[in-house]
Amino acid sequence: MKPINLAEIKPRPGTQAFFRWRQIGDDAILITNLEGNWLILTVEEFTQFARGESTPDSPLHERLLDKNFLRSNYDVQAASERVKARKYFVHGGPLLHVMVVTLRCNETCVYCHASRANMDQVDTDMSIETARKAVDLALSSTNGFITIEFQGGEPLVNFPVVKEIIEYATERNKEIQKRLEFTMVSNFALLTEEKLAYLLANKVQLCTSIDGPEELHNAQRKLPVSHNAFQAAAGWIKRVNEAYIEIGLDPTLYHVEALLTTTKATLGKWKEVVDTYVGLGCKTIFLRPVDPFGFAERARLRLEYPRGEYLEFYRKSVDYMIELNKQGVEILERYAAIFLTKMLRGEDPNFLDNRNPAGAGIGQLAYSYDGKVYSCDEGRMLAATQDQTFCLGDVDTPYRKIVGHETIRAMVIATNLDQQPDCVNCAYNPYCGTNAAYNYKAQGSVFGRMRDNNVCAVHKGIQDYLFEKLAENDPEVMAIFERWTTIRPREHFVQEPGRTPELESDLEAAPSEA
């Protein structure tokens, strides 16, 4: 890309309202404003705009006017409405409650050392008493929506406590009447028909991890005895999807989704990764880069990669996914969907790690097996390496002390992009977010330095790619992006307030058991 020459353009104040800009192609300059409206201008148009010389009645003037880029006609009311819509989540309170019911795990993953324990370490199981207190704390949240996410370790290892949490929370919610949901992230290897029946009857949304094709998945996620973690997960994905159909749910909306962890070994296998997900019936791939939490330094060297290489992988993967969509295959990339929802719809999908300010403490809390409460799951993983920076107290600490903790205040400020050098001038500011725990781990402070920050590099690179696509304005791609940003709520997973939890004894006669 040939960079534009600002010295030649000679920008000066004139008709423009506040804007930020970024070159995204030889003849394509993105401009964005405070409320997240955007336009892609040619160099000639940008030159006129930057010089403050837009001529009334010109097509450019109309486009600028329409998107609120002109000072004389600046619509403050419209701008404030849009900012308000984008920031609707700010005062909501914690909705995601990650419950680590055990650190024990039946799989050994190459990227996960510190935050797991061997199967004989029963002392890392959450107790019933701690689980109940964690539920009490979660239900104290000011948010009317509560999602309890079971994590580990492997949550199925401590299934009695999973059940206790479901039953106790559902019972307590009869009185509290929040929109309560349960989700579980599991490798599925310990799933049984009996456990599945229980989880289905109690409307627990199931999610697993797939690291790509079978060979790669099994190389990264070691399962003792069968040595085939992929087949264990794939078999249950198929079974759960069948079960959703059996109970009358729409399979396009209700199906198991999986999470990818992109390591160095994944980068060359972008096509195989996408094909694997499509083959398993997944409709979504989340191309997550490996993060620095939980693994040893020597593993880092083996798994990590320059983010430029990741972005190449990302572009190839999403290009391929777009081609598949053109052929009628329904598959979307989650990062793209998150950013596109903000860019195209002016809404925020409330993905907690990519919002401004981020969700640590004010959007999520993590409850460790031992009762300690953290600002986020990353904070809990850091604690596994003896760093308690993000510990807010324990399940006996009053709720208001947890969320009013000074660490939360610091994280809210640190992830507010209006205080972040670089971000204040970045064209992607209205759509972006930063992660305080990542910044702390990677760069020594919750603020971080965006210029050499990997999360920033990934976010910028993905948004570059998406705006390049938007600049091309291919109607077929635009229609695909439109679909990717259409959110269809999965109402089935919302627990009806007042519902009595399905107990094991009830399940013996349940139709799904047959």
Partner 1 sequence: MSSENQTSFTDIPEAIASVSGTDRSVSMTVDSELYPLQAVYGASYIFIDRCYVFIDRPAAGSYRITLSAKESVEEVEALRRIVGEFANELLSCTWRHQVTQDNRVAIETVTVQAIAGAMGEPSLDDLADFDFTDEALDDPLGIAQSWEEKHGRPSPGPSPEAKAEADADAEPKADTEEASA
Contact set with partner 1 (CB under 8 A): 87, 90-94, 141-142, 357, 361-362, 398, 400, 403-404, 408-409, 412-413, 416, 418-421, 424, 443-445, 447, 449, 451-452
CB nearer partner 1, residue 144 or residue 160: 144
Strands 364-367 and 391-394, how do they pair? unpaired
Q: Looking at 202-269, list the stretches that DSSP marks H as alpha helix, in order from N- to C-terminal side.
A: 214-220, 229-246
3-state DSSP of 469-496: HHHHCCHHHHHHHHHHCCCCCCHHHCEC
Q: Which of left, alpha, beta for 418 (phi over 0: left; psi -120 to 50: alpha)?
A: alpha
CB nearer partner 1, residue 279 or residue 421: 421
Which residues touch 470 (CB under 8 Å, ≥6 apart)?
Answer: 40, 343, 478, 481
CB of 303 to partner 1, least distance (A): 23
CB nearer partner 1, residue 152 or residue 363: 363
CB of 453 to partner 1, least distance (A): 10
CB of 398 to partner 1, least distance (A): 8
Nearest to 116 by CA among 381, 463, 468: 381
Beta strands in 391-491 (DSSP E): 391-394
CB of 363 to partner 1, least distance (A): 8
CB nearer partner 1, residue 372 or residue 441: 441
CB of 133 to partner 1, least distance (A): 17
CA–CA distance, 90 with 87 (Å, rounded to integer) = 6
Q: How far is CA 315 from the centre of its chain?
A: 19
Q: Is 351 helix (H, G, I), strand (E, B) or coil?
A: coil
CB nearer partner 1, residue 228 or residue 443: 443
CB of 423 to partner 1, least distance (A): 9
CB nearer partner 1, residue 87 or residue 238: 87
CB of 44 to partner 1, least distance (A): 32
CB of 33 to partner 1, least distance (A): 15
CA–CA distance, 182 with 161 (Å, rounded to integer) = 13
The DSSP H or E segment spanning 42 is: none
CB of 30 to partner 1, least distance (A): 22
Report whether 66 contacts 325 (CB < 8 A): no
CB nearer partner 1, residue 155 or residue 357: 357
CB nearer partner 1, residue 255 or residue 405: 405
Tokens of 231: 């087949």
CB nearer partner 1, residue 294 or residue 361: 361
Q: What share of the chain is helix, strand, coil (3-state, %, to 5)?
A: 45, 15, 40
CB nearer partner 1, residue 150 or residue 447: 447
Which residues touch 121 (CB under 8 Å, ≥6 apart)?
Answer: 103, 104
Q: In the β-sheet with 145-151, what is the strand arrangement from edge to edge?
A: 287-289, 257-262, 204-209, 179-185, 145-151, 96-100, 364-367, 372-374, 391-394
CB of 452 to partner 1, least distance (A): 7
182: how many CB neighbours lie within 10 A of its CB? Answer: 23
> How many residues in total does the chain contain?
514
| Through-space distance between the first and last CA atoms of the chain, rounded to whole angstroms | 61
CB nearer partner 1, residue 6 or residue 424: 424
